[in-house]
Copies of this chain bind each other. A is one copy, B any other.
Amino acid sequence: MMESDLTALDAARMCKALGHPARIGILRQLLREERCICGRIVEVLPLAQSTVSQHLKVLKDAGLISGEVEGPRTCYCADRQRLAALAAALSAMLSPCREEQR
């Protein structure tokens, strides 16, 4: 047992965070390059730095990415485990015989 089940609320929070093309793009980029500084993402996306920073915050608050300060910059990483948990939770919704989830 992995104890990574999500509550419906947690799943909703994550989905909400993923519910914007820019944030999907950021997550993609983070998965592609493993580690990314904010500025790198700003390079890739057609958005202002402040906007990207806000999107990063949303993703972080949802637990989909982590960011650690490294000197003057902040290095972001995708949380693959959490993303996997979300995918699993959606799949689990489909299986007919599942125990009640909170």
Contacts and interface: CB of A to CB of B under 8 A. Distances in A.
Contacts of A19: 12-13, 15-19
A25 interface: yes
Interface stretch (A37-45, A49-57, A68-76, A89-97): A89-97
A28 interface: yes
Given A87-B90, A90-B90, A91-B87, A18 B27 contact: no
A36 to B, nearest CB: 15
10 contacts: A8-B21, A15-B15, A16-B18, A16-B20, A18-B19, A27-B93, A31-B93, A83-B90, A83-B93, A84-B94
6 A-B pairs with least C-beta separation: A16-B19, A15-B18, A87-B90, A15-B19, A19-B19, A87-B91
